[in-house]
C-alpha cells in the first residue's frame, strides 16, 4: 500500500517595493514595519482569497494539492530609496523564514522588479541571488514581477522562471501568482524545464496603460506569444522611469519549455514590436486649468448621468509621489466645479485638525503642498468638516480585491462646491471604497477627482461618462525625460535618437 505521492512543499513570500529614487524621503525600516510585514499564518490570513499575487499563489497551491509554506512578505507603498538597514532586515527575515521552513520543493516569490536599496541598484536581482545560493541549484525559484520592472540579467539568471504581469492596470496579478505556482509544481516534478530569453529595449518613456491604444497592441503581441505551444510565459516589462539606475528601460521576455531557440525567437519578435511603436509612447496631457475646463465641458455635454472622472496622474502615490499636490484641487475650487468630490489628498496635519475640530466645524487650513515644490503651494481654505473616519476599508479593485487598507484618521471636508477627502496615510485611489467610507456616492456626483496614473481606470472607466487625465507637473509627471537621470545607460530613446533597438540586459 502506498500513501500516494508526497505533497510538494512550496514556500510563498516576497518583498515588494517600487522605488522612486527622485523622491527625497527614504523608505526606512520603520516605513516597512508600518506597512505589510507578515510571516507565517498571518500572511495566509491577510492574503488568502485576495486578488493579489499572494492570493493567486495560495489559491493555486490549494487547487493543485500542494502544501503552501508561508515565509515572509514585506510590501510597502511605492516611495523613495530603501535604506540599507531596511533592505537588510527584510531580506534577512525572508531568508531566515525559508531556512526555517524545512525541506522545500520550490520557492515562489512576489517581487516588484523596480526595487532599489541604498548600495543595491537591483533589489530583486540581489534577493534572488541570495535565495538561490541558500536553497541550492536544484530547487525551483519562481517570481512574479510587476509590469514596471527594470529587468536585469541577475533577475533572469537566478530565477528558474519569471512571471511578470501583462496588464496595466495590473488586474492579472492574481493570475500571475497562480501561474508561478503551476510552473513551480511542474519544475519540481521534473515535467518542465524553463529557459528564458530577454532583450533590453532602450526606452525612457512614461507609463503606458494596456487597456487601449499602443499599450493594448503590445499586450496582445505578448499574449499571442504566451499562447504558442512550448511557451510557458511571455511579457513586456515597461520599465519604471522614476528611478535612476543603469537598468532603467523596457524589456521583452519569453520563457519556453526546454526550447532555447523558441525563447530567443520570441524575445526578438516582441522587442521588435515594441521598438517599432516607440514614437507613440510619449504622451502630452492637459495641465490643471485645462483639465478642469475640459471637465466643465464634459459635465455640460454628459448624457448618461455618470460622473466625469478627473485623474491627477502626475501626483500618484502608486508611483512614489507624495500625494499632497494641490494644483488640480486649486483649479477645481477656483472654477467652482459643480457637485465635485476629490478623493484624496495625503495630509496628516489636515486630517488631525479636522478630527480635533469635530464634524460640523468650520476650520481654516493650509491644505497639502508640504512635500516640496513639485506638489505646488499649500492651498489656504476655510473648510467645513463633513465627516470623520478611521481611514480603514477593503479594496474593491481587481488588483487588490479584498485587501485591507488602513490610511489612519481621515476626513471629508467641504470647500465651496468641492468636497475633498484628506487622509493621514498615502496610497493611490484605485476604486470608490474611500469615497463610500466617507459617505460619498460617486455615481451621484458630477465630477470625481483622484490621484492615480492608470490603475484607477479598471474601476472607474466603466462607471464614468468621461475620463480626463491631468498632468500637473508632480513627481510622476509623464515628462520623464526631464527628470534628470544621471546613471541611466545611454544611448536611450528619445534622449538619443540614434539608440539601437535592443541591447543586453544591465
Ligand atoms: Zn506597476
How much is the pLDDT for 171?
A: 96
d(CA 488, CA 247): 7
Burial class (CB in 10 A: 0-12, 13-18, 19+), 134: middle
Number of H helices, E strands in the chain: 14, 19
**Residue ranges in 199-251 assigned as alpha helix (H):** 213-226
Going from the Cα of 157 to the center of ligand 1, the distance in angstroms, rounded, reads 22
Cα 94 to Cα 12, 56, 83, 134, 445: the distances in Å are 10, 19, 17, 11, 45
Q: Is 322 in a helix, a strand, or coil?
A: coil
Which helix H or strand E contains 379, and what residues bound it? strand 379-389
Q: Domain spanning 9-280: which CATH class is it, in words?
A: alpha beta
Going from the Cα of 208 to the center of ligand 1, the distance in angstroms, rounded, reads 10
How much is the pLDDT for 290?
A: 98
How much is the pLDDT for 304?
A: 76
Which cell is 484 given? 534628470
Q: What is the pLDDT of residues 395-444, one digit of tens each?
A: 999 999 999 999 999 999 999 999 999 999 999 999 999 999 999 999 99
d(CA 136, CA 400): 33
What sign results for the dihedral spanned by CA atoms 433, 434, 440, 445?
negative
pLDDT < 70: residue spans in the chain: 1-4
How much is the pLDDT for 4?
A: 63
Strand partners, 341: 419, 448
Going from the Cα of 119 to the center of ligand 1, the distance in angstroms, rounded, reads 23
Select from 100, 145, 96 the least CA-distant residue to 124.
145
Going from the Cα of 165 to the center of ligand 1, the distance in angstroms, rounded, reads 9
How much is the pLDDT for 281?
A: 97
Going from the Cα of 428 to the center of ligand 1, the distance in angstroms, rounded, reads 12
d(CA 464, CA 109): 36
Which cell is 458 given? 479598471
Q: What is the pLDDT of residues 116-162, one digit of tens each?
A: 999 999 999 999 999 999 999 999 999 999 999 999 999 999 999 99
Q: How many CA atoms lie within 13 A of 34 on its CB side?
A: 11
Strands 106-111 and 141-145: parallel
- What residues have CB less than 8 Å from 243, skipping those under 6 apart? 19, 20, 21, 22, 114, 116, 150
Which cell is 106 given? 520550490
Q: What is the DSSP string of 133-178?
A: HHH-TTS-EEEEE-TT----HHHHHHSSEEEE---SS-TTHHHHHH
Strand ranges inside 302-359, DSSP E: 308-312, 340-346
Going from the Cα of 78 to the center of ligand 1, the distance in angstroms, rounded, reads 10
Query: 63: how many CB neighbours lie within 10 A of its CB?
Result: 11
Going from the Cα of 411 to the center of ligand 1, the distance in angstroms, rounded, reads 28
Q: What is the DSSP letter of 337?
A: -
Select from 12, 47, 36, 271 the least CA-distant residue to 144.
12
Going from the Cα of 452 to the center of ligand 1, the distance in angstroms, rounded, reads 11
Which helix H or strand E contains 411, and what residues bound it? strand 410-415
Query: 495: how many CB neighbours lie within 10 A of its CB?
Result: 13
Strand partners, 107: 11, 141
Q: What is the DSSP string of 29-58?
A: HHHHHHSEEEEHHHHHHHHTTSSSHHHHHH
Report how far Cα 172 is from the mean position of its chain's Cα atoms.
12
Cα 171 to Cα 56, 313, 344: the distances in Å are 12, 18, 22
Q: What are phi and psi of 205, to 5 degrees?
A: -135, 155
For residue 121, say if its preceding peptide bond is cis, omega within 30 degrees of 0: no
Report how far Cα 275 is from the mean position of its chain's Cα atoms.
24
Which helix H or strand E contains 199, and what residues bound it? strand 194-201
Going from the Cα of 77 to the center of ligand 1, the distance in angstroms, rounded, reads 12
CB 55 within 8 A of CB 402: yes
How much is the pLDDT for 3?
A: 58
Select from 278, 275, 225 the least CA-distant residue to 253.
225
Going from the Cα of 159 to the center of ligand 1, the distance in angstroms, rounded, reads 20
Going from the Cα of 262 to the center of ligand 1, the distance in angstroms, rounded, reads 28
Going from the Cα of 455 to the center of ligand 1, the distance in angstroms, rounded, reads 9
Going from the Cα of 298 to the center of ligand 1, the distance in angstroms, rounded, reads 29
CB 120 within 8 A of CB 24: no
d(CA 76, CA 158): 24
Going from the Cα of 271 to the center of ligand 1, the distance in angstroms, rounded, reads 20
Going from the Cα of 281 to the center of ligand 1, the distance in angstroms, rounded, reads 16
Q: For the chain, report the end-to-end CA distance as a whole number of angstroms.
A: 54
Which cell is 132 given? 538561490
Going from the Cα of 146 to the center of ligand 1, the distance in angstroms, rounded, reads 5
Going from the Cα of 385 to the center of ligand 1, the distance in angstroms, rounded, reads 35
Start-end ranges of CATH 3.40.50.2300 in the chain? 9-280
CB 169 within 8 A of CB 399: yes
Q: What is the DSSP string of 416-467?
A: TTEEEEEESS-----SSHHHHHTT--GGG-SEEEE--SSTHHHHHGGG-SEE
Going from the Cα of 489 to the center of ligand 1, the distance in angstroms, rounded, reads 21
Going from the Cα of 404 to the center of ligand 1, the distance in angstroms, rounded, reads 19
Q: What is the DSSP string of 13-26?
A: EEEE--B-TTSSS-
d(CA 263, CA 260): 5
Going from the Cα of 400 to the center of ligand 1, the distance in angstroms, rounded, reads 13
Amino acid at each position: 500500500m502506498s500513501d500516494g505521492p508526497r505533497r510538494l512543499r512550496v514556500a510563498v513570500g516576497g518583498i515588494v517595493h517600487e522605488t522612486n529614487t527622485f523622491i527625497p524621503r527614504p523608505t526606512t525600516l520603520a516605513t516597512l514595519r508600518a506597512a505589510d510585514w507578515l510571516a507565517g499564518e498571518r500572511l495566509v490570513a491577510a492574503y488568502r482569497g485576495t486578488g493579489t499575487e499572494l492570493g493567486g499563489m495560495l489559491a493555486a497551491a490549494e487547487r493543485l494539492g500542494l502544501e503552501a509554506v508561508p515565509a515572509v512578505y514585506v510590501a510597502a507603498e511605492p516611495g523613495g530609496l530603501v535604506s540599507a538597514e531596511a533592505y537588510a532586515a527584510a531580506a534577512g527575515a525572508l531568508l531566515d523564514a525559508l531556512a526555517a521552513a524545512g525541506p522545500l520543493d520550490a520557492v515562489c516569490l512576489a517581487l516588484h522588479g523596480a526595487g532599489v536599496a541604498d548600495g543595491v541598484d537591483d533589489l530583486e536581482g540581489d534577493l534572488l541571488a541570495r535565495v538561490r545560493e541558500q536553497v541550492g541549484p536544484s530547487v525551483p525559484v519562481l517570481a512574479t514581477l510587476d509590469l514596471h520592472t527594470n529587468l536585469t540579467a541577475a533577475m533572469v539568471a537566478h530565477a528558474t522562471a519569471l512571471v511578470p504581469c501583462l496588464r496595466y492596470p495590473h488586474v492579472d496579478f492574481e493570475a500571475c501568482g497562480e501561474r508561478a505556482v503551476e510552473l513551480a509544481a511542474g519544475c519540481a516534478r521534473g515535467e518542465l524545464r524553463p529557459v528564458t530569453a530577454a532583450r533590453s529595449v532602450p526606452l525612457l518613456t512614461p507609463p503606458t496603460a494596456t487597456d487601449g491604444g499602443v499599450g493594448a497592441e503590445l499586450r496582445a503581441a505578448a499574449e499571442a506569444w504566451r499562447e504558442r505551444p512550448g511557451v510557458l510565459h511571455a511579457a513586456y516589462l515597461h520599465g519604471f522611469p522614476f528611478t535612476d539606475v543603469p537598468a532603467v528601460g523596457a524589456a521583452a521576455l519569453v520563457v519556453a519549455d526546454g526550447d532555447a531557440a523558441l525563447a530567443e525567437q520570441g524575445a526578438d519578435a516582441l522587442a521588435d514590436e515594441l521598438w517599432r511603436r516607440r514614437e507613440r509612447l510619449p504622451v502630452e496631457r492637459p495641465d490643471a486649468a485645462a483639465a478642469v475646463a475640459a471637465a466643465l465641458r464634459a459635465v455640460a455635454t454628459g448624457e448618461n448621468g455618470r460622473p466625469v472622472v478627473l485623474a491627477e496622474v502626475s501626483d500618484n502615490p502608486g508611483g512614489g509621489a507624495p500625494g499632497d499636490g494641490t494644483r488640480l484641487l486649486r483649479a477645481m475650487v477656483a472654477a467652482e466645479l459643480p457637485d465635485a468630490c476629490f478623493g484624496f489628498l495625503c495630509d496628516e496635519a489636515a486630517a488631525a485638525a479636522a478630527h480635533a475640530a469635530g464634524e460640523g466645524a468650520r476650520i481654516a487650513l493650509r491644505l497639502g503642498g508640504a512635500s516640496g515644490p513639485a506638489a505646488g503651494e499649500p492651498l489656504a481654505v476655510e473648510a467645513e468638516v463633513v465627516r470623520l473616519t478611521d481611514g480603514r476599508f477593503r479594496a474593491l479593485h481587481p488588483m487588490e480585491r479584498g485587501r485591507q487598507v488602513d490610511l489612519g484618521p481621515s476626513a471629508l471636508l467641504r470647500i465651496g462646491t468641492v468636497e475633498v477627502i484628506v487622509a493621514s496615510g498615502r496610497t493611490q485611489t484605485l476604486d470608490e471604497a474611500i469615497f463610500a467610507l466617507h459617505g460619498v456616492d460617486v455615481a451621484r456626483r458630477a465630477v470625481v477627482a483622484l490621484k492615480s496614473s492608470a490603475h484607477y481606470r479598471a474601476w472607474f472607466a466603466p462607471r464614468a461618462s468621461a475620463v480626463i487625465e491631468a498632468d500637473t507637473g508632480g513627481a510622476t509627471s509623464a515628462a520623464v525625460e526631464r527628470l534628470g537621470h544621471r546613471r541611466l545607460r545611454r544611448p536611450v530613446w528619445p534622449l538619443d535618437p540614434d539608440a539601437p533597438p535592443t541591447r543586453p540586459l544591465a
